[in-house]
Amino acid sequence: MNLAKCEICPHKCRIDRTKNQIGRCKSTDKVKIALYSIHDFEEPCISGKNGSGTVFFSNCNMNCIYCQNYEISQEGRGKEISIEELAEIFIEQQNRNVENINLVTPTSYVLQIIEAIKIAKSNGLKIPIVYNTNGYERVETLKLLKGYIDIYLPDLKYYEDKIGKKYSKIDNYFEIATKAIKEMYRQVGDPKLDERGIIKKGLMIRHLVLPNNIENSKKVLKWIKENIDENVYIDIMAQYFPTCKAKENLELNRKLTKEEYEEIEQYVYELDIKNGYMQELGEHEEEYVPKWEF
């Protein structure tokens, strides 16, 4: 697998990124990041008291019309850095006493990230590495990451492919994402937490509940319950707010209602989901979107 005929993600654009040809994700062969920071607002077992050492990568292989990070995922805001500089960022984050290195939207840069991890480990990187992804991944690419990633943190957004097509302009999301999640589980297994309750290895699945799409959420949660070990953590997120193109979409131009939230909450109890989190319905979710440095 190489960037001269890119097949890193399920789109398999087969363009030559080394010659700045642009495919679906708009990434070249250069790593591009928008921010690296200590993030305190991940799940409690990810952030802990010391925070998660996030690295936000620019560009994305999905085009969600409601993306909270659209300025970097779709508009490409960010700064190009070398693989060596990325490795230095990993070490710098570790020196800030964070709980882990959290790679946010890393898919386009898997090959470069692997090389950066190798360099960083040779220079003393020891803390866990989190692969924080939208779930739209190739199994073949994930296999390259075996041994480099300690914690997989994928989304499982859609059960029905027509919804994925409508909101994210992708095909076959459910089939592709569920195969990817099974590979992630094969690699890292159930979550392993230390005495402080901080995850050191394992799989945690995220699902963002969208307004007017409660049945989609129920089907996603039911699939996880029936197909993945009950010890795996599930984070059910209620933080949705309309942004990007969703402001003009009649289905998505509002936050969740109390009734929608309570319906999902009741369904979680019915499924008897053992481990994970369910966010409370908030009022100021916009405040948690990072301020991009580059």
| 3-state class (DSSP) for residue 79 | strand
The answer to whether 58 touches 33, Cβ cutoff 8 Å, is yes
Identify the architecture of domain 3-288 in CATH. Alpha-Beta Barrel (3.20)
Is the pLDDT at 121 greater than 90? The verdict is yes
Instruction: Give the separation between CA 98 and CA 100, rounded to whole angstroms.
Output: 6
Is the pLDDT at 5 greater than 80? The verdict is yes
Q: Which amino acid is at 99?
A: E
Is the pLDDT at 282 greater than 80? The verdict is no
What is the enclosing helix (H) or strand (E) of 208?
strand 199-208
Is the pLDDT at 285 greater than 80? The verdict is no
| 3-state class (DSSP) for residue 155 | strand
Q: Which amino acid is at 36?
A: Y
Q: What is the DSSP letter of 148?
A: T
Q: What pLDDT does residue 287 have?
A: 67
**Residue 126, φ and ψ in degrees, nearest 5:** -130, -20
**Residue 130, φ and ψ in degrees, nearest 5:** -105, 130
What is the distance of C-alpha 230 from the center of its chain?
21
This prediction's pTM: 0.97
Left if phi > 0, otherwise alpha if psi is -120 to 50, otherwise beta: which for 118? alpha
Band (246; pLDDT cuts 50, 70, 90)? very high
**Residue 165, φ and ψ in degrees, nearest 5:** -65, -40
More confident residue, 282 or 119: 119
Q: What is the DSSP letter of 9?
A: S
HSE of 281, CA atoms in CB hemisphere, 13 A = 14
Condensed to tens digits (0 to 9), the pLDDT of residues 162-197 reads: 999 999 999 999 999 999 999 999 999 999 999 999
Task: Tell me the sheet residues that pair with 80.
Answer: 32
Q: What pLDDT does residue 284 have?
A: 60
